[in-house]
């Protein structure tokens, strides 16, 4: 898993690897990190905002589910 660096939010349950021009994102769907700020969803994974994942390429990822 990726960790916090100076001035950035922590990415939770997101593993990113790059081989040549292919970016692979891995998320463990069995994990949960509690409810979102609004309380409407349960967070499974997040990048904590937009992140640079390769030279000049950015992504933002949120994976969530609705409570049963």
Residue 3 has pLDDT above 60, yes or no: no
Residue of 26, 24, 4 whose CA lies nearest to 15: 26
Which residues are 25's β-sheet partners? Answer: 16
pLDDT given at position 37 = 92
Can you read off the two tokens belonging to residue 3?
């960790």
pLDDT tens for residues 15-68? 999 999 999 999 999 999 999 999 999 999 999 999 998 889 999 999 999 998
**DSSP label of 55:** T
**Long-range contact list for 23-30, CB < 8 A, 24+ apart?**
23/53, 23/54, 23/57, 25/61, 27/63, 29/63
Which position has the token pair 């769907």?
Answer: 29
């Amino acid at each position: 898993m990726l960790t916090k660096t100076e001035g950035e939010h922590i990415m939770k349950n997101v593993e990113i690897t790059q081989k040549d021009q292919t970016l692979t994102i891995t998320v463990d769907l069995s994990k949960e990190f509690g409810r979102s700020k609004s309380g409407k969803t349960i967070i499974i994974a997040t990048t904590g905002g937009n992140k640079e994942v390769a030279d000049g390429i950015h992504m933002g990822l949120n994976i969530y589910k609705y409570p049963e």
